[in-house]
Amino acid sequence: MGVMIPMKRERMLTIRVTDDEHARLLERCEGKQLAVWMRRVCLGEP
């Protein structure tokens, strides 16, 4: 078994959303960090 080395993320995405859109995104991520949730939903990563 090999040791899993975490991937270093070097790029940052910025998107503009309204206050309402931001609130809706936070509701959908169910307490998870928004970036982690978006990565999972958009890229299908665990």
Cα 17 to Cα 7, 21, 37, 44, 45: the distances in Å are 28, 6, 16, 22, 23
Of residues 8 and 2, the one with the higher pLDDT is 8
Residue 10's pLDDT is: 93
- As a whole number of angstroms, the distance between CA 34 and CA 39 comes to 9
- Name the DSSP class of 22: H
Mean pLDDT of 4-31: 93
* Residue 45 pLDDT level (bands cut at 50, 70, 90): confident
Does residue 40 surpass a pLDDT of 80? yes
H-type alpha helices, the chain: 19-28, 34-43
Mean pLDDT in residue range 11-31: 96
pLDDT at 2 over 80: no
